[in-house]
Chains A and B, each alone.
Chain A
Amino acid sequence: KNEVEQSPQNLTAQEGEFITINCSYSVGISALHWLQQHPGGGIVSLFMLSSGKKKHGRLIATINIQEKHSSLHITASHPRDSAVYICAVLGRGQGAQKLVFGQGTRLTINP
């Protein structure tokens, strides 16, 4: 079993829909990252969380440390949101120096 599991692996939705991508992890962490990778390959960091909730524009990320679970929400989705979304966790102690990645969620928003 991977240390970081994302669901769903693929998601197709219509423009305007509310999107939720989930991430569960099995280790103690110091932080969790949500990354976006566009078809061209470039990776953009969306959020880094260690507790609670963060919002940036139409994107909201939440984390529940006790349940070892995080969600990424996209409100009023748009075709330009189509990308792969990757959850990654940073461990504690010696593990606080390397990210462990989920397998990614491929999101397609149709107009």
Chain B
Amino acid sequence: GAVVSQHPSRVICKSGTSVKIECRSLDFQATTMFWYRQFPKQSLMLMATSNEGSKATYEQGVEKDKFLINHASLTLSTLTVTSAHPEDSSFYICSASNRDYQPQHFGDGTRLSIL
């Protein structure tokens, strides 16, 4: 079945560091990928929709200058958390779908801890 790979799985870094997270669709082309954030014991919240070859669409309340998204190819989207602070510590997870209206397949997520 469709597989989505996310890297790294865990990041621990100092406040002020920028962190890049990669999301790859391994066996299908994804014109659209999605980035979610999940705080402990909470649900997943959609942050942004990553569109290949165009600007990402951000959900209300998500700072686009803080969370930079690049979708340069049909198999790769990256999320960069710029100048991360402790409040950015969370579980970030991406998803992709190989066709419209089909179930989204998720990466394994990235646990980001900012000290």
Do A and B come together as binding partners? no
Contacts from A to B (Cβ < 8 Å)? none
